[in-house]
Structure 1
Amino acid sequence: MQKITLLLCTFLCVATTYAQNSLKILVKNQADQTVLSNVTIMIKGSNLITKTAADGTAGFSNVPNGNQTIIIRNVGFEEQHLNLTFPLTQDKIYEVILTPASDELEEVIVSSTRTSRTIQNTPTRVETIELEEINEKSNMRPANVSMILHESTGIAVQQTSATSANASIRIQGLDGRYTQLLKDGYASFGNFASGLSILEIPPLDLAQVEIIKGPSSTLYGAGAIAGVVNFISRTPREKADFNFILNQSNVGQTNIGAFSMQRKGKLGYSILALTNFQKAYDVDKDDFTELPKTDDFTLHPKLFYYPNEKTTLIIGNAFTKSNRTGGDIFVVNDEADGNHRYFESNKSIRNTSTLDFGYKVNESDLLKVKTSFNYFKRDIAIPDYTFNGINYNAYTDISYLKNISNQSLIFGLNIVYDKFAEQNQIPGLAKNFTTRTAGLYAQQTWDISDRFKLESGIRLDLVNYFNAFYRKNEAFVLPRISALYKINDHWSSRIGGGLGYKTPTLFTEQTETFQYQNLLPLNNVKAEHSYGGTADINYKTAIGEDWLISFNQMFFYTKINNSTILIQDQLGTFHFENTKEPVRSLGFETNAKIIFKEYFKLFAGYTFTDAKANYLPVIQTIRLLPKNKVNLALLYEKESNFKLGLEGYFTDRQYLYNNLQTNSFWEFGFMAEKVFGKISVFINAENFTDTRQSRYKSVVNGSHLNPTFDDIWTHTEGRTFNGGIKLKL
């Protein structure tokens, strides 16, 4: 009888321990209070495990009695523990809020659309290059942002000079003049001031880079046909931040830079100082430089004033002075003689003064006033010819952001004055040109539902441009629309399109190659008109606790009418004309990212571009444009410890201006960085397989006294090794 009683008691205890208790949990993201699917939930010490559904909920139906610890895990978030005692005293859904992991980048807020929304809730397609990647690319090229952009899908940095290494940015195969460059929203790099632009923007003070591909004229006016690249500076925090970098390369480049910022109460500051030195470098020993002798200096202080919680005033002044001399290396090294006299000299001074005023009318509305004045002076010299000029640019923009329930409304106006004046030229041949623009714009961003968001806008620009030969007045009405649809927690899609225009300019990649020699002033050339759009599909998911996969497929199309073309007459002089034949660019970009345990990161990108100019005879494909391009990067990183990276890039064949095709080529790079507390040491091997143009054919033709140069379609300097030290306080 005692044995039966003992057995019965044991059975009752076991049955009580494994009572059929139920539990239901709802998981949300702390950042935006959205529900999270595919979150792993387990009960500690048992084999009970489940995942949240699309609505963020998950449940158990057989939880044992007693004290239980429920573990909630998701990639990119801090692990949460929920301690409960079963049976529960009440039947309810337990809500768990997950916080993004401390070692993750902060949620990306985009400013180029002026709504200060998260990138996930912005209907306009915006790509961002974030601080982590900027820091990695800064190790490779601390002097400028060319490396940051060159390795981005769908963007090419096109070198325009064999001896001075000048370059411009091309998006979706279109010339650089169709891409608008901004620094903190200020357009200081247009027309003549685009010269040397990306070579004079240092990355040391950047927080992120925002890229809008496709027409973006509603907010930014002329020149935003192919897209907009906005370089966003860092802003000071209460904790002081000091960064110092020293870099040295095997090609003779030395970079010394520092950036510091801090906010104390109502005042804050940031200051960037950078100096770069480059020795003349001739890798193929043909007596002509692949990298010019260079010394340049940048100083950019900014003062931040916060008189109260509603008001912000930012005053800045960026100054850059650059001196670049390439050509015959004997001449560059001051050893010129009767057989060595060719050189190309570029001297420039750029000064941009800015004032940014922001006032929060209430908790959600913002009045913004931005104004800048840019002075750019550039002197170009080759034997028996000089070209020099000054570009003045004044920009003022006043906007008001109004937020109501599920809408953001922006109203604004801006005035732009741009004047180029050629120096030391007879009046009849001076390439002087002035453009004055007044614009009104409005934009609405409408959250129709949690899943569907719409952004639409319209702009009216009145433009007056003139020189000594002609004067034109034109009006442009520029609508634009974008839509975001979140299909579910994994899939989303964006589509958008609009109109654009570009006012006439003499300063293009082609005219840069011959230093504007024998180029006639503009005469009766009208603005170019465009329309185009982009559409994409996005997918993002987590596989288990360790894998995070994202994928983006984007399609683009742009057509430019009334485009300007460069004509050479029988006397050897050049001039621009409008053509009725259009330019069109279409293609697609594919991007994939795979992350394993936050340590291994694999990035893959593919770009297909089919861009044609109907006015070109025989072969209408736009020159110096690869139809296929592949970007690959593998990164292994231990946060605040070390990182290793391997990169590979494939570039397809390209047509040259002589209608010949180049070879396709691969290039590879390697980087490593080790952190020792506040100090980090880095090394890089860029293009370590030594892909360079002179391996296929000599870039320089003719005699030393009167050389000619082939179009530049790949590296001229070959492999580059560099290393340095960074200090962060």
Structure 2
Amino acid sequence: MKLFFTIILFLSVGISATFSQKNSISGKVTSAGEPLPYVNIYLKKTKLGTSTNENGFYRIKNIPDGKYTLILSSVGFKTKSVKVMFSSGKAISRSFILDESNSLDEIVVSGTLKPVTKANSPVPIEVYSKTFFKKNPTPSIFESLQNVNGVRPQLNCNVCNTGDIHINGLEGPYTFVLIDGMPIVSGLSTVYGLTGIPQALIERVEVVKGPASTLYGSEAVGGIINIITRKPSNSPALSTDTFGSSWGEINTDIGLRYKLSEKIQGLLGVNYFNFQNRIDNNNDGFTDLTLQNRISIFNKVDIRRENGKTFTIAGRYVYEDRWGGETNWKKEFRGTDVIYGESIYTNRWETFGTYQLPTTKNINFQFSANGHHQNSIYGTDFYDADQFIAFGQFIFNKNIKENQDLTLGLAYRYTFYDDNTFATKDTNGVNNQPSITHLPGIFVQDEISLNKNNKLLLGARWDYNSLHGSIFSPRVNYKWNSKDNSDIFRISIGNGFRVANVFTEDHAALTGAREVVFDGELNPETSWNTNLNYVKKFYPGNSIITLDASAFYTYFDNRILPDYDTDPNKIIYANLEGHSISKGISLNTDIMFLNGLAINAGATLMDVSITENGIKTRQPLTESFSGVWSISYSFLNDFKIDYTGNIYGPMRLPLLSDTDPRASESPWYSIQNIQLSKRFSNSWEIYGGVKNLLDFTPAANSIARSFDPFDKQVVFDQNGQAMATPNNPNALTFDPSYVYASNQGIRGFIGLRYTVF
């Protein structure tokens, strides 16, 4: 009998163990045939969840019997929900495909200062994920933006290759660049700030086209580029990306997640770029590509507080040594008139963060500070500048009603700027007098949901500039969407303003080629902008198609433009006695097929003009048409091919005089690239390809009189104008400002990525 009960007990335990066995689900998550790492996967209304690893695989174990909703979400991709039934210790294998970047459900923050889905944002925002930029790997985010429709990286100098970002034809100083929503890249660093951001740490880039001064203040006139970095909590333990080119460029990105304690996580990033080859393929005696040695260190820390409030702080340090010039230039010639060179030393530090106040109200304190020192030589002209900017703002957000969301902000910016030019001299031009600007401001934004299909956004900002007085910036945004969000229409009207500092923003003002002249006091620029946006999404066959069309119109008063034409030996800066208009239309198309083919294409047609004294002219260095494309296809075992490119229409170029033999317009030109990549299951990925397939470079005579950079053989008249001589029949002077594209031709590249989850 005792043996009988022992057997019964043993069988009961076995049966109980069998029926209490837990369920599991596992599989792979992909997009356009490529594995998606770090996708959040969880069972709704439970604490069960996980994230995909670097190869897109996931597994959730110990799931009790029952019916569940499985949620898959990742920034830059459309959230997916799936019904799943578990019973009797079932092990389910399920793989999923998520829509790639630019889907309507992406989370964005740039338009309203708070996270909302892209479809619900009343402000049209374009989002580009890290996957998008990997299709054409570059040493800096500055170059990566060449494949964004309506955005063009513009080189401002043939010699030192500094540049800025144009949005819809507007010059670089009109573009406001932020990191994690903080105004980091501005003023003196505009030219250099987009280089050295470790791309291994970039989660996505948000682009807003048109004035956003209501939320961001001065400089946000042409648009916003907001670089969103990864959170330490969803970053890989280690990520490395190294590539080199046949020209000798070497670029390395390293990202490392670390944990200081249970409550403190950090993310460390390092970018190193080096190029030291003196290449002169166009035989003009000058380097075709600036030699560079750059290192950038980025650190971001998230502190988990007991009350669940946010506290994030980050910092970055950048050092760069770059030079370009005659190929036999050496450091010993820096600042002399023996051999021409442009040498720039840059030291820059930044810190920024967000602290949510420990109150029952939703109040955030956002802060940033940066210091920038630049030591530059342009031929014999020395430019030494220091800039310090401190910024802080309180943001209060409250839902007044179910359909009304109110945001109030109180901001302050302090700017210190000093250099060795007459820009910081006193009124007598004798004593040094650094520029100090105080800019307090207050803004309000009211987002009203009229109903499920209509939303209205009202905003206004008041700033007081200590040098120029009060500035008021209102804006209105309206959005309509269909019930299923397959159709979205937006209209926005806004005002922008900008207080200019020529020496911190325009590289042409620094070169030794022309004398800088200010015609009167420079007043703040103002603009009014209207933007119409329509988004259509539909699903024909085995594909997803998104159409995004926009029309824009911007009217400027007091615009400040460099005048190259009045005097070939001068750059004259003055407020425009008239107006300037930027108008045009753009279209973006995303087509994703379930077979692994993805197509992204866009085109912008625009007219940027200047009207002064009744005469209308095209703005220099601005194309009337531009187009971009990206075609990707995944095949075989984790092979992928990417074909990217852009095309630009003619631009009006700055000539020295009517006798200048150089072309007055640039030709149509296209930069095209191809890449083949292979991912291995052990977290390795190898890639390589060819850049500038068509081997396009500007004309060899882009630099006027490159053989006489100090104008030693030029004869000037009593008014300082160059005279025609047998050695100089066209009466030219040395001029490196005639530039619209890089002199870097076709080249191969190869790279390697390694990631540990």
| TM above 0.5 | yes
User: How much identity, in percent, do the aligned residues show?
Assistant: 19
Change (3 A) 1:590 1:573: closer
The CA distance in 1 between the partners of 2:363 and 2:334, in whole Å, is: 59
Partner of 1:682: 687
1:672 aligns with 2:676: yes
The CA distance in 2 between the partners of 1:506 and 1:687, in whole Å, is: 33
| Residue deviations 1:239-263 (CA, integer Å, cap 9, x gap) | 7431111111112211122012256
Letter in 2 for 1:612: S
Instruction: Say how many residue pairs are matched.
Output: 629
Change (3 A) 1:590 1:513: farther
Secondary structure of residue in 2 paired with 1:237: helix
1:391 aligns with 2:387: yes
The residue correspondences of 1:57-96 to structure 2 (distance < 5 A) are: none
Structure 1 position 598, deviation (Å): 5.5
**Conserved 8 A contact 2:378-2:510:** no
**Conserved 8 A contact 1:310-1:360:** no
Letter in 2 for 1:666: S
Partner of 1:727: 754
Structure 1 position 220, deviation (Å): 0.2
Structure 1 position 597, deviation (Å): 0.6
| Residue deviations 1:403-448 (CA, integer Å, cap 9, x gap) | 3422221111110111210148776276843322111001112222
Q: Which of the residues 286, 290, 297 maps onto 1:288?
A: 286
The CA distance in 2 between the partners of 1:616 and 1:236, in whole Å, is: 56
Change (3 A) 1:620 1:366: same
Change (3 A) 1:571 1:693: closer
1:482 aligns with 2:481: no
Partner of 1:159: 155
Name which of structure 1's ranges 374-383 and 232-241 shifts more when overlaid on structure 2. Answer: 232-241
Letter in 2 for 1:390: D
The CA distance in 2 between the partners of 1:381 and 1:607, in whole Å, is: 37
The residue correspondences of 1:536-547 to structure 2 (distance < 5 A) are: 536-544=533-541, 546-547=542-543
1:692 aligns with 2:697: yes
Structure 1 position 204, deviation (Å): 2.3
Letter in 2 for 1:251: W
Change (3 A) 1:209 1:610: same
The residue correspondences of 1:630-649 to structure 2 (distance < 5 A) are: 630-637=627-634, 641-649=638-646
Partner of 2:555: 559
| Residue deviations 1:171-204 (CA, integer Å, cap 9, x gap) | 1111111111111122122222213122343422
Secondary structure of residue in 1 paired with 2:135: helix
Letter in 2 for 1:445: E
Q: Which of the residues 230, 237, 241 maps onto 1:234?
A: 230
The residue correspondences of 1:581-600 to structure 2 (distance < 5 A) are: 581-597=578-594, 599-600=596-597
1:375 aligns with 2:379: no
The residue correspondences of 1:431-442 to structure 2 (distance < 5 A) are: 432-442=434-444
Structure 1 position 314, deviation (Å): 1.7
**Conserved 8 A contact 1:387-1:515:** no
1:326 aligns with 2:336: no
The residue correspondences of 1:359-374 to structure 2 (distance < 5 A) are: 359=357, 366-374=362-370
The CA distance in 2 between the partners of 1:500 and 1:103, in whole Å, is: 35
The residue correspondences of 1:648-663 to structure 2 (distance < 5 A) are: 648-658=645-655, 660-663=664-667
Structure 1 position 511, deviation (Å): 3.0
The CA distance in 2 between the partners of 1:343 and 1:175, in whole Å, is: 26
Change (3 A) 1:340 1:618: farther
Partner of 2:7: none
The CA distance in 1 between the partners of 2:193 and 2:329, in whole Å, is: 26
Partner of 1:41: none
The residue correspondences of 1:76-475 to structure 2 (distance < 5 A) are: 101=97, 107-112=105-110, 113-137=112-136, 140-141=137-138, 143-237=139-233, 240-262=236-258, 265-279=262-276, 280-332=278-330, 341-359=339-357, 366-403=362-399, 404-423=401-420, 428=429, 432-465=434-467, 473-475=468-470
Letter in 1 for 2:186: G
Partner of 1:718: 745
Secondary structure of residue in 1 paired with 2:145: helix
The residue correspondences of 1:606-617 to structure 2 (distance < 5 A) are: 606-615=603-612
Letter in 1 for 2:676: A
| Residue deviations 1:374-414 (CA, integer Å, cap 9, x gap) | 10111110332211110111111110111342222111111
The CA distance in 1 between the partners of 2:335 and 2:368, in whole Å, is: 46
The CA distance in 2 between the partners of 1:342 and 1:322, in whole Å, is: 20
Letter in 2 for 1:543: P
Structure 1 position 662, deviation (Å): 1.7
Secondary structure of residue in 2 paired with 1:330: coil
Output the aligned Cα RMSD.
Answer: 3.1
Gaps of 5+ in 2: 1-39, 42-76, 86-93, 659-663, 711-733
Structure 1 position 519, deviation (Å): 2.9
TM-score (norm 2): 0.77
Letter in 1 for 2:538: T
Change (3 A) 1:327 1:215: same
Partner of 1:529: 526
Gaps of 5+ in 1: 1-29, 32-74, 84-97, 466-472
TM-score (norm 1): 0.80
**Conserved 8 A contact 1:389-1:420:** yes
**Conserved 8 A contact 1:350-1:375:** yes
Letter in 2 for 1:528: E
Change (3 A) 1:671 1:360: farther
Letter in 1 for 2:745: G
| Residue deviations 1:694-720 (CA, integer Å, cap 9, x gap) | 36x444534244343351122311123
**Conserved 8 A contact 1:330-1:340:** no
